[in-house]
Amino acid sequence: MKKSTILLLSTISALSFGQQNKVGINTKTPHATLEIQHYNPTSNTDTSVEGILIPRVSRLRAFQMGDKSKVKESTLIYIDNVSTGAKAGTMADVDTKGFYYFSTDLNKWVKLSTSSQSSFVDTNTHIYNSNGTLQGERTVNHNNHYLTFKTGTGKVVVEGKTLIKGEFYRVASNITTEAQRNYYVKSSTATEYGDHVIINKLSHGVTNIYLPTTPENMYEGRELCVINAGGGSVTIHNLSIGENQNNTLAPNLATCILSTGQKWIMTSRY
């Protein structure tokens, strides 16, 4: 037993070197707190396996390590099994195999970036606390679920032009279509449809629609269709004067309004 211990210590000493509070493995001159070099860096035929094996544990085992009172910041592990343990608490982000580090600020294990991600983003970064810039086109599939914004005393603001393609808008309060809120119909593609506003709750005072004023060559070829599904008449303002257009839309009727670039004209009524 004594001989084995001496042999083990001798082997470790031959491979590990200490210098100025630094540790080197296979090097006498470590350039960091810990530096590990290839066992035989000049060989072109060596087939031995190189690398570092991070502790591999299941999700349940990682959970059993405890929270930030026990686990230190930046602790790194590899989760190799997510079939055990719940995806909750300190394991709220642990849903697949992979590398995770512990964040004491978040008090949970955080997934490291994968090859499919262009850059690392902390899981605590979101639109509620951080600004950002889209790096490309993004699509959100509602999957037949509502996306609701409860603005309270705030507002939903779109700066610049907004392209709306065949969408439906249900209006439950008085509506004003301001000049800064432009409705566009994409004319470059024949299959694009016009924009629709469905007014279905006149009991809340929806009695007027104010079209944006149309300076010369603005909004040309753009169409807005209005469906009055409520119980009272709706008055459409800013239609072209002198065109003998009826700007009152009775219940259960619809109309489409086209911009010539200089004025709004009703093209259909049904």
- Are residues 187 and 218 in contact, defined by beta-carbon separation less than 8 angstroms? no
Which stretch of DSSP H or E encloses residue 11? helix 2-15
Residue 212 exposure: Cα atoms within 13 Å on the Cβ side: 20
Please enumerate in sequence order all residues whose Cβ is within 8 A of that of 221, keeping only pairs 6 or more positions apart, or say none.
185, 187, 258, 259, 261
Buried b (16+ CB within 10 A) or exposed e, 49-58: eeeeeeeebb
| Lowest-confidence segment of 14-18, 22-26, 63-67, 202-206 by average pLDDT | 202-206
Q: Which fold has domain 168-269?
A: Jelly Rolls (2.60.120)
Burial class (CB in 10 A: 0-12, 13-18, 19+), 116: exposed
Report how far apart, in Å, the C-alpha atoms of 105 and of each of 29, 72, 96, 109 are: 36, 11, 22, 11
Q: Which tokens belong to 104?
A: 């004491």
Domain range list for the chain: 15-44, 56-111, 168-269
pLDDT for 164 beyond 70: no
Three-state secondary-structure class, residue 61: helix
pLDDT digits (tens, 9 = 90+) for 200-235: 444 444 577 777 665 555 567 777 777 777 667 878
Which stretch of DSSP H or E encloses residue 25? strand 22-25
Q: Where would I find the H helices in 24-79?
A: 59-64
pLDDT digits (tens, 9 = 90+) for 34-57: 898 887 777 788 888 888 899 999
